[in-house]
Structure 1
Amino acid sequence: MKLVYIFSSFAAKGGTERIFCDKMNWLAEVAGYEIVFVTYEQGNHPFAYPLSNKIRHVDLNTRFFTTGTMSLLKRIRFKFTMPRLFKHRLRKLLDEIQPDVVVSTTYALFLFREILSQPYRHVVESHVYYQLLLQNTFTHISWLDRKIARHLLEMLKRCEKVVVLTHKDAACWKGYDNIEVIHNVVTNYPEKITDVADRPKRIIAVGRLHAQKGFDLLIQSWQLIAARHPDWQLVVYGHGGDLQKLQQQLEEAGLTSSMTFAGATDNIYKEYQNSAFYVMSSRYEGWGLVLVEAMSCGLPCVSFDCPYGPSDIIRDGEDGLLVENGNIQQLAEKMELLINNKELRERLGVQARLNAARFTSDNIMPQWTKLFETIVQNDNH
């Protein structure tokens, strides 16, 4: 089986990049597929995560992001010439490779005409939910952007499959008969973890410091209960542009002694296992990989039931707790419930680790190989 994966660049350390890397490595190393990884804006940047040496990488060197620094006239010209150059270079490469399946993502929505016009079988992965895709910016005129996005998304009906991450998102793709749900993979499932009963009085959260992750809501929620639990700490790991704003909110709330923005870490699994439970305050998610990671370390998770992901991962009351989306008071109540009940934390944590195993490579990746092989077999018939 010969697959081509298309992604803009592999320079940023993000969740999607990590998932892409893990999947391609598994398919190359375990399934024995021939994988060609095609980027178009990588340049000379190093890879964010290590790729198997069995994977061939090609960069098309069509750096769309450079248009942001150009004059208006030059930018308009590049809006027309750059996609054509991308299409030409991609076609030449694909004709050389002759892949069985070409895999791209909805992050390349603005290039769908160029990608999907290639005469090969296409699978498109959507790592964000459908309604968010309609909010893509093309002209900065909201109604027109939405119309353009709908038109581009209609092209996906030509694909062999559109793979989404959650069942709730799948229900939003009305009129599409090619939707498949395959959850994301957690490849680092620790064989052994520290004893759940011995963990310190520490709550952990992880994510980019961005409005999507709702850390402003988390601060408000923590403010409601922090004074009653002076021996507990809430630590947030991640970096992003909202650090200064969040730090100011933290200071104004008088929480600097009990809540910390600790920056990024290279060993997040160590931090999971040094915590009593996990909290997610996101306004929306494509999936929620950090929930699965935390659960694999025996952490119960408290999460907003945001669109979409947490409800596909957490079984409410069995291995974690779901909270009405955006309900700050309820989030505080659920956090306090776990703070006050060590036995509940331990019971949920044990079950969380067991349930997280359903997202390991052994359970998820065969769904991908079955998908690819069915596509090729159907086409041959």
Structure 2
Amino acid sequence: MEVVSMLRHRARPRFEADPRVRLTPLVDLREDSSDAVDPRLREPAVVFPAAEKRYRQYSRLTDVRAEEHLRGCTADVIIGTRPGVNVYLARFGPRRALRIAQEHLTHDAHSTRLRADLARHYAGLDAVVTTTEADAAVYRARMPLPGVRVLAVPNIVPEPPVPPSYGGATVIAAAGRLVRGKRLDLLIDAFRQVAGRYPEWTLRIYGAGPERERLKELIGERGLDGRARLMGARSPIETEFAQAAIVASASSAESFGMTLAEAMRRGVPVVSTNCPLGPAEIITPGVDGLLVPVGDGQALVDALLALVSDETARRRMGQAALVSARRFDPGPIVSRYEELFGELVQSRNVREWRRHSARWRRRLHHVLRR
């Protein structure tokens, strides 16, 4: 197995890799590397789509290296993990291999221009895999891809190496990028009401981002200094969740909801907005957590108070969360991918026929319109 890194920033990877996995960086950005003085590094990318959010991080050198690597790739299955990389895969990936695009964002998170680019390139792939059934349905409805299998496979959330929460703490935790879309301001306001009735409870917010100073000021304005704390980024986050009694999310949108699954893996019930698209597929309301409408501060207060005030319910939901989170174990999800690979091999000729038929229908329709 090989993991290809588009850009290399450091001497050692941030995460430890199994020795059986080969790590291959394509462009080395370290100051002492030969790539750092390659003039193509300062030329804008031509293949990587300009509408992709990370376009400025890529270059003509990235285009060239991606093409060279993919054209020489001998793998049976190649999986891209973000839209621009999926375009590389569609353009340069060997046709004999299964070429699969993973979507870790969502269809509606992409601009109209990027969606048009992706529709053109995704049409030549074998499959598009989203993290939620809801997003897969959006792709099927708004980006028809004849001959391309569109399905959902959730992220793997492995068993953490820390004991689960015992449920008796007086801590509400939240984690994620400190950005406006996470609506941590709404959570802080909701916690203010919780803290007014239960002064022994605290709020811990984990993460880093551009909203840190604004959130720090808001905590002071709400009189929550020492009660609500910005803890910074932590990894693994499950270690912190295991010290909490509740994990909360007030996000406006999520492509999956990784922190919710990570909290449930440690037996912590979750309170989340029912935002598109992930939480409703992770949480079973009243069983392992609670869902509230997006942007509804009072509903968030009520849900938090329901669990803060009832330790028995917290423990019951926490135990249910431990059980339900097992569906994110590596084993079942790896099996789903193995089944997908087999299905794609068996259906290759049928899917190719559908692709060509759709192409000829479009051409005929264009001719008739003219």
SS of equivalent residue, structure 1 residue 262: strand
1:56 to 12, 19, 22: 22
Per-residue deviation, 1:200: 1.6
Matched residue, 1:373: 342
Aligned equivalents of 1:133, 1:280: Cα separation in 2: 23
Residues 1-381 of structure 1 mapped to structure 2, 5 A cutoff: 35-61=1-27, 77-80=43-46, 85-108=61-84, 112-118=86-92, 119-120=94-95, 121-134=98-111, 146-173=112-139, 174=141, 175-176=144-145, 178-189=149-160, 192-196=163-167, 199-379=168-348
Aligned equivalents of 1:280, 1:262: Cα separation in 2: 16
Aligned equivalents of 2:281, 2:11: Cα separation in 1: 35
Aligned equivalents of 1:250, 1:101: Cα separation in 2: 49
- Native 8 Å contact 1:43 1:59 kept in 2: no
- Native 8 Å contact 2:44 2:60 kept in 1: no
Mean Cα displacement is larger for which, 311-320 or 369-378?
A: 369-378
CA 1:57/1:309 → structure 2, altered by over 3 Å: closer, same or farther? same
Aligned equivalents of 1:194, 1:151: Cα separation in 2: 45
Aligned equivalents of 1:376, 1:187: Cα separation in 2: 28
Per-residue CA deviations over 1:243-278 (Å, capped at 9, x if unaligned) read 111101111111113211111234533322221111
SS of equivalent residue, structure 1 residue 38: strand
Aligned equivalents of 2:127, 2:300: Cα separation in 1: 37
CA 1:194/1:235 → structure 2, altered by over 3 Å: closer, same or farther? closer
Per-residue deviation, 1:333: 0.7
Per-residue deviation, 1:214: 1.6
- Native 8 Å contact 1:39 1:60 kept in 2: yes
Q: Structure 1, unaligned stretches of length 5 or more?
A: 1-34, 64-73, 135-145
SS of equivalent residue, structure 1 residue 122: strand
Aligned equivalents of 1:114, 1:361: Cα separation in 2: 27
- TM-score w.r.t. the length of structure 2 is 0.80
Aligned equivalents of 1:189, 1:358: Cα separation in 2: 14
Aligned equivalents of 1:348, 1:303: Cα separation in 2: 14
Per-residue CA deviations over 1:190-225 (Å, capped at 9, x if unaligned) read 6853533xx221111111212222211111222233
User: Identity over the aligned pairs, expressed in percent?
Assistant: 28
CA 1:47/1:107 → structure 2, altered by over 3 Å: closer, same or farther? farther
- Native 8 Å contact 1:338 1:345 kept in 2: yes
- Native 8 Å contact 1:189 1:357 kept in 2: no
Aligned equivalents of 2:28, 2:346: Cα separation in 1: 34
Per-residue deviation, 1:91: 3.4
Aligned equivalents of 2:234, 2:161: Cα separation in 1: 18
Aligned equivalents of 2:9, 2:80: Cα separation in 1: 19
Per-residue CA deviations over 1:266-312 (Å, capped at 9, x if unaligned) read 45333222211111111211111111111121111000011111100
Look up the equivalent residue of 1:39 and give its one-letter code. Answer: S
Per-residue deviation, 1:84: 5.4
CA 1:294/1:379 → structure 2, altered by over 3 Å: closer, same or farther? same
Look up the equivalent residue of 2:78 and give its one-letter code. Answer: V
Matched residue, 1:68: none
Q: Which has the larger radius of gyration?
A: 2
Look up the equivalent residue of 2:20 and give its one-letter code. Answer: K
Per-residue CA deviations over 1:327-364 (Å, capped at 9, x if unaligned) read 11100110011111111111111111111111111221
- Native 8 Å contact 1:62 1:86 kept in 2: no
Look up the equivalent residue of 1:51 and give its one-letter code. Answer: A
Q: What is the aligned-residue RMSD (CA, Å)?
A: 2.5
CA 1:45/1:201 → structure 2, altered by over 3 Å: closer, same or farther? same
CA 1:242/1:316 → structure 2, altered by over 3 Å: closer, same or farther? same
Aligned equivalents of 2:161, 2:317: Cα separation in 1: 18
Per-residue deviation, 1:115: 2.9
Q: Structure 2, unaligned stretches of length 5 or more?
A: 30-39, 48-57, 351-370
